[in-house]
Amino acid sequence: MFKQSLAIVLLIAYQCECEFDYSQYWPGGKTTGAPIVLECGVGLIPINGENNGTRDAAPGEVAFQVSLQKKVSGKWAHACGGVVATNGFVLTTASCVGGSNTEAFTRSEAGNVNLTKGGWTRRRRASYPGQQQPGVQYTMKSTIHPDYDEITLANNVALVGLAQPFDVQAAAGAINTVCLPESAEEDHSEDQHYVSGWGAIDGVVEFKPKLQIVKANVVECEPSATALANQLCVVQDLDDSVEDCVGDFGGPLFATNGNTSTLIGLYSSGTGCSANNTAKFIDVKPYVTWIKDNSKPTYGK
């Protein structure tokens, strides 16, 4: 029915040789107003650095945060974290998309601080078949770094290519890309670092219903830590010892100067977040060229 209606509309427009607005018939719907153009790493509101300890992230505060989801008992469930690298690609760890995490059973959700409760997204009336929320897209292809070692987790980096890009216009600023370091010399040591996520790490029994964010610091790895190239050891600024560590495997460690956030690392392994039991992140600097080369548009190929 949709194809027949669109064909009739196109035929009428062709025969009358008149101008016609086709945009309302294409996926994504009709765009109204000026296009939304955001610099990378900018959210609807700046990162609030006044509070210490774990807190709920405000909507649009961490606009590049992604929840990678898989089917569990017929419903979509949060499985890993990630970040919006481009509108059509999510950056995460290879351990999140390899092995049993089959592409056919994964989707990505951005622009939402509330963790999905699972289930299918209901279509609105008069929508085209398969319409989803602006920040919910299915996986088309996952690309794992060629030197990834699933035993040691070396080079634990992957890109998830989306079947359709996130609808940034419809999200009205709630979805944005994260900035990547421009060079190996780029220094963010003076910027405040943060970890964010819902708690998809080993040992966490129940995920948090809202996106959590906490201040963090890169430190020297503890003597017992396995030496691994491009690894960052991270501690979190928790209020007390009873707080759970924040983050998701595959999720971000990022630095912000108050307005712009730059990705520093991806959560790779470890269940602790203290000086004697640090969380292990993959430093993204050595992989920026690979990320950019593998997140280019694939149209026409």
Taking only the tens of pLDDT, the chain with its 301 residues reads 544 544 444 444 434 444 433 233 233 333 444 555 678 999 999 998 887 788 999 999 999 999 999 888 888 889 999 999 998 999 999 999 876 445 555 899 999 999 876 443 333 433 334 445 789 999 999 999 999 999 999 999 999 999 999 988 888 889 999 999 998 889 999 999 999 999 888 766 678 899 999 999 999 998 888 878 899 999 998 876 556 788 899 999 999 987 899 999 999 999 888 888 999 999 999 999 999 999 987 433 3
Dihedral sign, CA of 135, 178, 237, 154? Answer: positive
DSSP at 204: -
Nearest to 194 by CA among 230, 243, 238: 238
Q: Are 69 and 50 a contacting pair, CB within 8 Å?
A: no
Residues of the chain with CATH 2.40.10.10: 63-120+134-178+287-294, 192-285
- CATH class for the domain made up of 63-120+134-178+287-294: mainly beta
Place of tokens 């039991």: 277
What is the rounded distance in angstroms from the CA atom of residue 278 to the CA atom of residue 235? Answer: 6
Residue 261 sits at the vertex; the CA angle it makes with 257 and 264, to the nearest 5 degrees, is 105
CATH topology of domain 192-285: Thrombin, subunit H (2.40.10)
